[in-house]
Structure 1
């Protein structure tokens, strides 16, 4: 059984970005020659979104060479309450407590949206586990996992489940959703693998970096991330020390050059102290950052040179005979190191500004 796994598509959110992400997933599923595309919850952002998009989705979920298997999540469970049709390739796995879909020579064992697994469902799932079965659900792995990783979700700890519990169920692969932030894999106590694919499109700044889906091949026990050409957000941060201004600008320019600027929202944040005057550094920083939003928190090195700690140290340095100290023969090198260290401490907030 060969699957392409995703989750937290939230169709209807972000204008056309989520629909573009669906198109990218369908293209990837065809290219990877999978038996099914699995969605680990929150395929839709809300019931109204599903209703509005249904005509467009019927076209997309027709004549694919694979099934689309969707388990309800905390945001879209109400979508599947009525008798709705999204296309012949689309199957919502909604039967409580567990629904099983046969895919190729294997099975997808699905848990519809629930607050907790519960004892009865636990034993039901454990009885259904076998070498060619994967578990599909929408959950929060371990207490506090991925804090902030669900973006603005109203239920950040929906259906909490422990790593040890999943290990006791005995599945080789647990395909999950709910945590949007990034692709995440964890080995389970039974030797199985838990997978959060991350959202296939960036819905907020809680999801940074290029987005992925995951190919799972149960025959080869193989997992392969698949990069998606979808909208994403990303940040770059660097600290400038005196003498480092041009290198810092080069670092920013190199990072931006490596991004897909036509399908991303980027932020560059720079702090520290620069030997350039502040307006010159700011102008060159913005030029290097291109389309990225710039947060410039740098200050000119004059803020270091005017600090009482620097003045006191410089006075003491003048009073020392450096020839009396081993390996110290260059007062300019000592003074330069002081400027660098004081700049770092000021930037980190460990020393207050004068």
Structure 2
């Protein structure tokens, strides 16, 4: 059995790129002959957006031979209560309709509910879901909530705060071989605990600038490890350009030269992250002036581009005798003792100490 897993599209009437991402996902499901497409929450950004545009889903799913399961998330929880029709092969998961059997696979789902938002209530409802599992078939849990783990930051999720929070260790004692989840936006994330997999699909289209990099969906062939599939949806990509106070080139010229090396695809919105330091006195440029010029150059290069300006003007240090002595000593260190990157970091420490 093949399942295509995604979540967090946050469809709105004014975001055509998100609707295009949904069509790409449906086409990817067809190409891979999946049996089921699961959307683990926040298909719509709000109930209001859903009411204005849900008819479009019927057309998108009308030619699909596979089944689609839609799990309510914290953004669109209330929309599905009205019992609206989304297509013949589309099932909205509710508390009363959350156990499904597809051949040799059992799928159990937990629709998002605000009353489950505490950790205590979430654990209770997950243990209840575990009572429906089979001891002769693989079991899959669909979930929309926040996994508590040290490697996830609050900004990685749709919102700050706790939305059905759960610890990964809870799943180790349960009878689910796969947990397919939504609510985590940043990227597709596959965690393995013993012989179980917890998978966040990530948003399949950049919703905000924090979702950077090509977007993906999860293709699961039951009995095997989850597999990442790239889709050609809209995304933000970060390109770092590092300035150095020791560069002979004008920072504007350096930026212009760097731009020539980038091949930006049409579905990408580039974010040029400008880091490091420059000698404003030497080049007669303040931080504001340089930022303005780089913003203009970036827009001329690509109308969708943005500049994230983090560089500092250290012109006042360039003639500081103490700094010149430090720089001279660092430069004399043998490359075998300290490589160029380590030298750069050492100089950065001195710069930050002196400014």
Q: TM-score interval w.r.t. the shorter chain? A: 0.7 to 0.9
Paired residues of 1:240 and 1:274 also in contact (CA < 8 A): yes
The CA deviation string for residues 4-62 of structure 1, in whole angstroms up to 9 with x for no partner, is 10011111165212211111110111111100111111111111222111221111121
Q: Is the CA contact (8 Å cut-off) linking 1:249 and 1:288 kept in structure 2?
A: no
Q: Given that residues 24 and 231 in structure 2 are in contact (C-alpha distance below 8 angstroms), is that contact kept between their aligned partners in structure 1?
A: yes
Q: Distance in 2 between matches of 1:48 and 1:266?
A: 31
1:30 counterpart SS class: helix
Contact 2:204 2:233 in 1 (8 A): yes
Query: How far is 1:203 from its partner?
Result: 0.9
Aligned residues: 328
After alignment, is 264-273 or 60-69 more displaced?
A: 264-273
Change (3 A) 1:328 1:16: closer
**Equivalent in 208, 215, 222 of residue 219 of structure 2:** 215
| Correspondence 1:24 to 2:29 | no
Q: Which moved more, 1:52-61 or 1:272-281?
A: 272-281
Q: Which runs of 5+ in 1 are unaligned?
A: 331-336
Q: Which residue of 1 aligns with 2:231?
A: 228
* Aligned-residue RMSD, C-alpha: 3.6
1:31 to 1:244, Cα distance in 2 relative to 1, 3 A? farther
Task: Identify the residue that residue 7 of structure 2 maps to in structure 1.
Answer: 7
The Cα of 1:113 is off from its aligned counterpart by: 0.9
Once the two structures are TM-superposed, the CA of residue 227 in structure 1 deviates from its matched residue by: 0.6
How much has 1:296 moved relative to structure 2? Answer: 4.2
Consecutive unaligned residues of structure 2, counting only runs of 5 or more, are 335-340
Q: TM-score, normalised by structure 1?
A: 0.80
Matched, 1:112 2:111: yes
After superposition, the Cα gap between the structure-2 partners of 1:59 and 1:72, relative to the gap in structure 1 and judged at 3 Å, is same
Q: Which residue is equivalent to 1:150?
A: 157
Change (3 A) 1:328 1:207: closer
Of stretches 35-44 and 105-114 in structure 1, the one that deviates more from structure 2 is: 105-114
Higher CA-based Rg: 1
CA distance in 1, matches of 2:11, 2:320: 54
Give, in angstroms, the shift of residue 329 of structure 1: 11
In 1, Cα distance between the equivalents of 2:173 and 2:348? Answer: 49
Deviation at 1:127, TM superposition (A): 4.5
Cα offset for 1:250? 8.3
1:102 is displaced (CA, Å) by: 2.3
User: Alignment partner of 2:51: what SS?
Assistant: helix
Return closer, same or farther for 1:63/1:298 CA change in 2, 3 Å cut-off.
closer
Q: 1:99 to 1:344 in 2, by over 3 A?
A: same
The alpha-carbon distance between structure 1 residues 76 and 281, as it changes in their structure 2 partners (threshold 3 A), is closer
CA 329–93 in structure 1, closer or farther in 2 if over 3 Å, else same: closer
